[in-house]
Amino acid sequence: MAKLIAMAGKGGTGKTTFAAMIIRGLIESGQAPVLAVDADPNATLSEALGLEAPKTIGMVREEFGAASGTLPAGMTKGQFFEYKLNEIIVEDEGMDLLVMGRPEGAGCYCYVNNLLRGAVETLSENYKYVVVDNEAGLEHLSRRTAAHVDLMVIMSDHSVRGIRSAHRVIGLVEEMGIEVLQQLVLVNQIVGEGSLTDPEKGLNEAVLAEAKKLGIDIFTVVPMDSDVTAADLAQKSLLDLQASSPAAVAAQKVLNFLNTAT
């Protein structure tokens, strides 16, 4: 069964960028194949990975609703849904990509979300790792699109509000009863690469004080990375960044923890 890594945190904290760096680290360390799932309605993970995703799961849900009365002979609803999902998987070297998108029509998608959960669990059997880039909340996790999360990476920006938001995410995970084996809090957009070896180095005193007050143990920080900025401006894949890139080093630190913890 694949290990599932889920990104969480408020909007603008760099979840998508760091998800791409995690995927990059997994591929480079020989952990392919990886299934990347863009679970943010404002889907941008494909761009970070240098891929195009013309169809989304949201579109499949609409097609499924329209075709549910005329299923192919001998095919159940679950089989048909899984077939349609396999049609929209974007394949690339070392990884595949599924984009959730958003439903275009009105109505409840509870039944289809149950099908999606089963399909993702089935698909996961073909991968070593599944990396899920979530939206700002935990809506997709609350729908149980996965049985459990091996590692939840909670991103915060370098602000007091970011730390408070990370704290709310931790509480929401407990409230919803999501099975999370390990969770780490990272603070992004820190000035100075030296902070990688000492998480408290470079942190604003108010941010550090708020984290301590809320009982948050900051696992590591992610320095501002000019290589990431340059790749974004040139619209290049973050998978091509060098292993020495500060963001890549931070991602590898997370993966080292996961390998040690499990």
Q: Domain residues for 126?
A: 3-261
pLDDT of residue 146: 55
Sequence-distant (≥ 6) Cβ neighbours of residue 261 within 8 angstroms: 151, 181, 182
Domain of residue 124, CATH code: 3.40.50.300
pLDDT of 255 reads 96
Neighbours of 42 (CB within 10 A): 11
Query: How many domains is the chain built from?
Result: 1
Sheet of 180-190: strand order equals: 90-92, 95-99, 34-39, 129-134, 3-9, 149-156, 180-190, 218-223
pLDDT at residue number 51: 93
| 67, 222, 235 from 216: Cα distances, Å | 48, 16, 35
| 8 closest CA partner among 183, 174, 147, 129 | 183
Contact status, residue 49 vs residue 232, Cβ threshold 8 Å: no
Written as six digits, the tokens of 261 are: 């913890």
pLDDT tens, the chain, 262 aa long: 789 999 998 888 999 999 999 999 999 999 999 999 888 777 789 999 999 888 887 787 777 666 666 777 778 777 777 788 888 899 999 999 988 776 555 555 565 566 566 666 777 888 999 999 887 666 655 555 555 789 999 999 999 999 999 999 999 888 878 889 999 999 998 886 555 667 667 788 899 999 999 999 999 999 888 999 999 999 999 999 999 999 999 999 999 999 887 6
pLDDT given at position 112? 55
Q: How far apart are CA 30 and CA 45, in angstroms?
A: 21
Contact 186, 178 (CB under 8 A): no
Per the DSSP assignment, residues forming a β-bridge with 185 are 154, 218
